[in-house]
Amino acid sequence: MSKLGKYFSLEEMTVTNENMDNTPGPTVRKKLKVLVDNLLDPLREMIDEPIAVNSGFRTLAVNKAIGGAQNPISQHTKGEAADIECFDNANMFQVILEHFQFDQLIWEKGNDRQPDWVHVSFKSNGNRNQILKYKNGKYIQL
Ligand SMILES: [Zn+2]
């Protein structure tokens, strides 16, 4: 296990169900550490419960295989995004919204009370603080 921060390892941030190599290069590793240091670690401390990473970095091939965004290309392929879940995803979404800078925060699927998971991205500069919510089969900007 190689730690990227206090709570998250490189293995967690590069997990994939695809039977493909998903090893990031040094530039992506640095970006994953930026995401962990600025968002995931402090978020973990604030909500004080475990956060599971369903998907962090994806190579272009892995992103394509799972049907990830192509245009614009998913921030998962840059090491800037993570799909996360915890006991109360709606609360986690709200905590990110109120306490953090982010590039994109997405309420993924689910219903009005709970998203199935939360997508969040962070860049070392140029964060847009864009909030999207999945509703009736499409994403609406909040
Ligand atoms: Zn995502």
Going from the Cα of 91 to the center of ligand 1, the distance in angstroms, rounded, reads 18
Q: How far is CA 65 from CA 35, 52, 73, in A?
A: 24, 22, 13
Residue 56 lies in a domain: yes
> What DSSP designation does 70 have?
B
Q: What is the pLDDT of residues 45-70, one digit of tens each?
A: 999 999 999 999 999 999 999 999 99
Q: What is the pLDDT of residues 68-108, one digit of tens each?
A: 999 999 999 999 999 999 999 999 999 999 999 999 999 99
Q: Show the domain range for 65.
A: 10-141
- Band the pLDDT of 135: cuts 50, 70, 90: confident
Residue 64 lies in a domain: yes
What pLDDT does 1 receive? 67
Going from the Cα of 57 to the center of ligand 1, the distance in angstroms, rounded, reads 9
Mean pLDDT calculated for residue range 116-121: 98
Predicted model pTM: 0.96
**CATH number for position 92:** 3.30.1380.10
As for how many domains the chain has, the answer is 1
